Amino acid sequence: MHSVDVLVVGGGPAGSTVGTLLAQRGWRVTLLEKDQHPRFHIGESLLPGNLPIFEKLGVLEQVRALGVYKPGADFTAPDGKVMAFPFARALGDTPAHAFQVRRSEFDQLLFDNCVKQGVDARQQHQVLDVRRVGNGHEVDYFDAEGRQHRVFAKLVIDCSGRDCLLARKQGWQMRDAHHASAAVFGHFTQVARREGDLAGNISVYWFEQGWIWMIPLRDDVMSVGAVCWPSLLKSRNGDLENFLRSVLATVPDAGERMRQAVSVSPVSATGNYSYASTRLYDDGVLLVGDAFTFIDPVFSSGVYLAMNGAVHSVAPAEAWLRGDMAAYRRACRRYQQAVTRKISAFSWFIYRFTTPAMRDLLGNPRNDWQVEQAVISMLAGDGDGSADIRKRLRIFKAIYLGYRCKRLSESWRAWWARRRNQRVAFTDETIMS
Ligand SMILES: Cc1cc2nc3c(=O)[nH]c(=O)nc-3n(C[C@H](O)[C@H](O)[C@H](O)COP(=O)(O)OP(=O)(O)OC[C@H]3O[C@@H](n4cnc5c(N)ncnc54)[C@H](O)[C@@H]3O)c2cc1C
């Protein structure tokens, strides 16, 4: 049987990143991707925290060439007030911008780069099963012609994204009942952009039953989507595009920007979409990116979390490959800490994003004790950064609690409405039908 050091499942941002980094360090890596690049993928708005990782991979200039310069994010309150948060104001040494990318191009670039750097990366190869055998794993997969093969890998890194190959197989996956939302999205041209320096911003809008994004891409294309509560989706009569347009029309500024919009892709949807795995690693197995956990993408965190997780997974991977079990366990614990700290830094804000108190605070930011700048650091991916940033974010959280108490009855009504909606069950099939 053919044997390799590392078998990576999945050639999205997590898989291509960890594959490249391990190949750069001399390991024999095989990566199997079930699709064929370029292929559509949602998740087009990146964070400044991605830039140092692009440099490590040697792709910063290529990403710059295919991306749209993203100077920050703007949030629009239900009363129409727009608040811009430029990354240039973040604390610490976070890069002052990020990029918006078409994932078809971006994922292909990362995949091609890992081939260039020595990874045996194959497309249209689907991993079927992974079994522990001796000091490694046997992996069964289909090749592009549909023939089944088996390979022995010392280490398996699961980067299978929302397919969650190992977490599902092992029963580690837990759905997040508090975030039973669904997203409806598509690409449009002739959507008005923000003016001047803000043209590359991601725009986020609150509405009664969720939030909306607008992400400017190259060639006058705008990625437009709405994340909504199940009850709203269930009330839909008509196709997904009409549903999306009707949601956008309820928000004056978004509706106005969409007035001339022409759809250039099918509008699609994904449902019930937040989850976590109870385990991030096992003997000879590491999970990276969405294969481990998925949180609501309101702060554009997914690709950054996936690539940052890939960077941190290198140490436990190498310890396992060297056969040093004590070092492996220590490195796994550090990996877990790094990943969960990053996720928690975003999650605290995500869980509170739709509360009236958070809307008030983000809609009327004040920079006392530099807390607004610390919030921008969180938006840039540095919410778990220096002690100084973490201290200022703790002050923000205390202010938030004060606001919440002041607006207790409204907060309670919002919480109750959301809870009622969590009881509305739905599946991907009900959304698409
Ligand atoms: C509605 C929505 C909006 C989002 N918006 C943003 C955003 O603006 N910014 C952002 O950063 N993130 C966003 N995300 C999140 C982002 O899409 C993901 O977090 C990111 O793609 C994770 O990267 P990954 O490499 O872990 O997984 P993926 O990018 O999903 O890659 C996994 C790869 O594994 C392959 N694969 C799966 N199973 C197998 C198998 N058995 N064998 C072989 N290959 C396999 C898949 O084909 C895929 O190519 C959004 C997500 C959603 C749902």
For the segment 35-57, what is each residue's pLDDT rounded down to a tens digit? Answer: 999 999 999 999 999 999 999 99
pLDDT at 364: 79
Contact predicate 121/114, CB 8 Å: yes
Q: Over 70: is that where the pLDDT of 427 sits?
A: no
Query: What separation in Å is there between the alpha carbon of 112 and the centre of ligand 1?
Result: 17
- What pLDDT sits at residue 1? 76
Strand residues in 159-208 grouped as ranges (E): 173-175, 182-189, 202-207
Q: Which residues contact 20 (CB under 8 A, 6 or more apart)?
A: 57, 110, 113, 114, 117, 119
151-160, 401-410, 419-428 — which one is most confidently predicted on average?
151-160
**pLDDT, averaged across the chain:** 92
Q: In this model, does residue 428 exceed pLDDT 70?
A: no
- Of 12, 26, 9, which Cα lies nearest the Cα of 314? 26
pLDDT confidence of residue 410 = 66
Q: Residue 127 is encoded by which pair of tokens?
A: 């991993």
- 397 band by pLDDT with thresholds 50, 70 and 90: very high
pLDDT band at residue 154 under the 50/70/90 scheme: very high
pLDDT of residue 426 exceeding 90: no
CB 87 within 8 A of CB 376: yes
Cis peptide before 38 (omega within 30 of 0): yes
If we measure between CA atoms, which residue out of 309, 262, 345, 304 comes closest to residue 70? 304
Residue 97 has pLDDT above 70, yes or no: yes
Q: Exposed, middle or buried by CB within 10 Å (0-12, 13-18, 19+), for 161?
A: buried
pLDDT at 188 over 60: yes
11 near 111, Cβ under 8 Å?
A: yes
Q: How far is CA 96 from the centre of its chain?
A: 20
> Residue of the nearest CA to atom 38 in ligand 1?
160
* Whole-number pLDDT of residue 368: 84
Q: What is the CATH number of domain 70-100+181-271+354-433?
A: 3.30.9.100
Each domain of the chain, given as residue ranges in start order, spans 2-67+102-176+274-346, 70-100+181-271+354-433
- Ligand 1 centroid to 335 CA: how many Å? 20
Domains 2-67+102-176+274-346 and 70-100+181-271+354-433 share a fold: no
pLDDT at 11: 98
The CA R_g of the chain, rounded to the nearest whole Å, is: 22
| Atom number of ligand 1 nearest to Cα 185 | 1
The per-residue b/e assignment along 208-245, b for 16 or more CB within 10 angstroms, e otherwise, is ebbbbbbbbbeeebbbbbbbbbbebbeebeeebbebbb
Integer Cα distance of 64 and 414 in angstroms: 41
pLDDT at 172 over 80: yes
Q: What percent of the chain has pLDDT over 70?
A: 93
Query: From the CB of residue 89, how many other CB atoms can be counted at a distance below 10 Å?
Result: 18
SS3 label, residue 42: coil
| Homologous superfamily of domain range 2-67+102-176+274-346 | FAD/NAD(P)-binding domain (3.50.50.60)
Phi then psi for residue 425, to 5 deg, are: -85, 145
193 secondary structure, DSSP code = P
Q: Which residues line ligand 1 (CB under 6 A)?
A: 9-15, 32-35, 41-46, 126-127, 159-163, 165, 183, 185, 225, 270, 273, 289-291, 297, 300-304, 306
* Residue 256, pLDDT score: 95
Confidence class for position 362, pLDDT limits 50, 70, 90:
confident
**Ligand 1 centroid – CA 13 distance (Å):** 8
What atom in ligand 1 is closest to the CA of residue 227?
1
254 close to 148: Cβ distance less than 8 angstroms: no
265 versus 415: which is more confidently predicted? 265
24 pLDDT higher than 60: yes
Distance from the alpha carbon of residue 290 to the mean position of ligand 1, in angstroms: 6
Nearest CA to ligand 1 atom 3: 43
Distance CA 121, CA 323 (A): 25
Report residue 158 as tokens. 């699961």
What's the average model confidence in pLDDT over 366-385?
91
C-alpha 371 to ligand 1 mean position (Å): 32
**Nearest partner of 47 among 96, 105, 108, 10, judged by Cα:** 96
pLDDT at 422: 60
Inter-residue contact 2 to 153 (CB < 8 Å): no
The Å distance, Cα 291 to ligand 1 centre, comes to: 9
d(C-alpha 186, C-alpha 241), whole Å:
8
Q: What is the pTM of this model?
A: 0.94
Q: In this structure, which long-range contacts are made by residues 322-331, counting pairs with CB atoms below 8 Å and at least 24 apart in sequence? A: 323/135
- Which residue, judged by its Cα, is nearest atom 15 of ligand 1? 302
pLDDT band at 232 (very low <50, low <70, confident <90, very high): confident
**Residue 1, C-beta contacts closer than 8 angstroms, at least 6 positions apart:** 138, 150, 151, 152
Lookup: tokens for 212: 């909306």
The pLDDT assigned to 357 comes to 83
Residue 207, pLDDT above cutoff 70:
yes
Quote the ligand 1 centre to 183 CA distance (angstroms). Answer: 14
What atom in ligand 1 is closest to the CA of residue 225?
Answer: 1
Both tokens assigned to 219:
């060639």
Least confidently predicted of 15-19, 62-66, 151-155, 296-300: 296-300
Q: Which residues pair with 29 in a beta bridge?
A: 6
The helix or strand, by DSSP H or E, that contains position 150, with its residue range, turns out to be strand 148-158
pLDDT at 78: 78
Which residue from 18, 32, 34 has its CB within 8 A of the most atoms of ligand 1, so it is best to mutate? Answer: 34
pLDDT surpassing 90 at residue 175: no
Cα-to-centroid distance, 72 and ligand 1 (Å): 22
Per-residue confidence at 181, pLDDT binned at 50, 70, 90?
confident
- Sequence-ordered list of residues with C-beta below 8 angstroms from that of 391, at least 6 positions apart, any chain: none
Burial class (CB in 10 A: 0-12, 13-18, 19+), 336: middle
Q: Residues 250-307: pLDDT tens digits?
A: 999 999 999 999 999 999 998 767 899 999 999 999 999 999 999 999 999 999 999 9
Confidence of residue 233 (pLDDT cuts 50, 70, 90): confident
* Ligand 1 atom 19 nearest Cα: 302
What proportions of the chain, in percent to the nearest 5, are helix, strand and coil?
A: 45, 25, 30
Location of structure tokens 């839909």: 236
Q: How much is the pLDDT for 417?
A: 67
pLDDT surpassing 80 at residue 416: no
Query: What is the pLDDT averaged over residues 65-71?
Result: 98
Q: What percent of the chain has pLDDT over 90?
A: 78
Residues 6+ apart with CB under 8 A from 242: none
Residue owning the nearest CA to atom 32 of ligand 1: 161
pLDDT of residue 421: 63
